């Protein structure tokens, strides 16, 4: 019988065997008590048509969350391009989640449920899950900062059945304490009035990106490049952590 600790270590090392992936483990209950679940949402949410299948109920036997982080380096901007209904980063994370699900079934006969991106479809608030699992900390840009990659990371979660040991929250990683807050100053719409993130201001920039699709995608059926949305990354790419 595999111990909790070695099961956790093996699952993490399997996930991290994929290029540019980091993984951590957190209790579902702890994520659901995170700050985002306490915060009141500032406005209506735009759920774009991603291929994620909504999940109505989480199985009661699955009480652990595997958090996946995919590095999103500046030199590979395409991962963030929204094309034909989703971003390439999300497609890759969905594929990795499927591979982990198969591996857990084959190796340990454990069930795993890859969760959708959107909370409204049965997903989790991913930054909360990531912070609590020790993947990183929340920076002045309101993004998860990973010690190696800074905010250049995209997240996903998988619910796990089985007895796992959770990974510890990070201690002693406080990069924003001595920073000149380049992220907030870089924002094109000043979405950090008084140093605090404003959803309603940020979303104006995101909506402008949606309105201004550019023909930089794959070659489509009409022989022309698909239109893509290039979401703003100013507060992310200006961060010196992991640059
Ligand atoms: C809705 C959404 C948006 C909306 C609204 C964002 C918002 N913050 O409200 C819009 C479209 C504006 C948006 C913009 C962006 N988004 Co967005 N977004 C999401 C989504 C789907 C849900 C986020 C949400 O609603 N949070 C709830 C609100 C209330 O909280 P919040 O503002 O995020 O702040 C909370 C946390 O900071 C947390 N927190 C702070 N400190 C601590 C400490 C602890 C211990 C804990 C537990 C929690 C915690 O508590 C705060 C609430 O009190 C997530 C995916 C997901 N399923 O989680 C991606 C996500 C957060 N977005 C992401 C990104 C990258 C972006 C953009 C850079 C655009 C882009 N290129 O994709 C910008 C950056 C905006 C910013 N600086 O925050 C990434 C973040 C990756 C990272 N490294 O952190 C995510 C995780 C998606 C992904 N692909 O991985 N986004």
Mean pLDDT throughout 183-198?
A: 97
Look at residue 133 and tell me whether its pLDDT is greater than 80.
yes
Q: What is the pLDDT of residue 49?
A: 59
Q: Residues enclosing ligand 1, CB less than 6 A?
A: 34-36, 39, 41, 45, 80, 117-119, 123, 125-128, 131-132, 138, 141-144, 151, 153-155, 197, 199, 202-203, 206, 231-233, 235-236
Q: How far apart are CA 102 and CA 18, in angstroms?
A: 14
pLDDT tens digits, one per residue of 16-62: 999 999 999 999 999 999 999 988 665 555 566 567 889 989 999 99
Look at residue 177 and tell me whether its pLDDT is greater than 90.
yes
Q: Whose CA is nearest to atom 28 of ligand 1?
A: 36
**CB contact at 8 A, 64 and 166:** yes
Neighbouring C-beta atoms of residue 6, cutoff 10 Å: 10
Domain boundaries, the chain: 4-173, 182-237
Q: How far apart are CA 122 and CA 56, in angstroms?
A: 6
Nearest alpha-carbon partner for 80 in 186, 243, 217: 217
**Percentage of the chain modeled with pLDDT above 90:** 87
Q: How far apart are CA 118 and CA 122, in angstroms?
A: 7
Q: How far apart are CA 128 and CA 144, in angstroms?
A: 9
As a whole number, the mean pLDDT across the chain is: 93
Look at residue 11 and tell me whether its pLDDT is greater than 90.
yes
Nearest alpha-carbon partner for 115 in 130, 125, 127: 125
The two most distant CA atoms of the chain are separated, in Å, by 56
Q: How far apart are CA 215 and CA 206, in angstroms?
A: 18
What Cα–Cα distance (Å) separates residue 72 from each residue in 48, 82, 201, 236?
21, 14, 24, 10
The 8 Å CB, 24+ separation contacts for 35-42 are 35/128, 36/125, 36/127, 36/128, 37/125, 37/128, 41/199, 42/198, 42/199, 42/200
Distance 127 CA to ligand 1 centre (A): 6
Q: Which of 33, 87, 122, 126 to mutate to test the pocket of ligand 1 (most atoms within 8 A of CB)?
A: 126
**pTM of structure:** 0.96
**CB contact at 8 A, 179 and 195:** no
Q: What is the pLDDT of residue 163?
A: 87
Distance 183 CA to ligand 1 centre (A): 15
Mean pLDDT check: name the lowest of 53-57, 175-179, 180-184, 214-218.
Answer: 53-57
Mean pLDDT throughout 90-95?
A: 96
pLDDT tens digits, one per residue of 60-81: 999 999 999 999 999 999 999 9
């Amino acid at each position: 019988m595999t111990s909790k600790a070695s099961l956790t270590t093996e699952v993490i090392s399997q996930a991290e065997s994929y290029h540019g992936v980091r993984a951590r483990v957190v209790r579902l209950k702890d994520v659901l008590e995170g700050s985002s679940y306490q915060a009141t949402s500032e406005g209506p949410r735009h759920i774009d048509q991603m291929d994620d299948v909504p999940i109505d109920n989480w199985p009661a036997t699955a009480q652990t969350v595997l958090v996946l982080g995919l590095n999103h380096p500046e030199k590979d901007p395409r991962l963030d391009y929204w094309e034909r209904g989703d971003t390439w980063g999300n497609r890759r994370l969905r594929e990795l989640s499927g591979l982990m699900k198969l591996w857990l079934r084959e190796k340990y006969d454990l069930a795993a449920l890859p969760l959708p991106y959107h909370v409204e479809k049965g997903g989790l608030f991913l930054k909360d899950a990531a912070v609590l699992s020790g993947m990183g900390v929340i920076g002045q840009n309101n993004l998860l900062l990973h010690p190696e990659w800074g905010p250049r990371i995209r997240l996903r979660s998988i619910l796990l059945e089985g007895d796992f040991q959770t990974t510890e929250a990070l201690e002693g990683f406080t990069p924003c304490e001595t920073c000149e807050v380049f992220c907030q100053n870089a924002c094109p719409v000043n979405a950090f009035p008084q140093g605090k993130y404003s959803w309603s201001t940020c979303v104006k920039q995101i909506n402008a990106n949606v309105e201004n699709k550019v023909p930089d995608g794959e070659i489509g059926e009409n022989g022309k490049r698909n239109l893509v949305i290039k979401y703003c990354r100013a507060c992310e790419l200006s961060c010196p952590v992991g640059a």
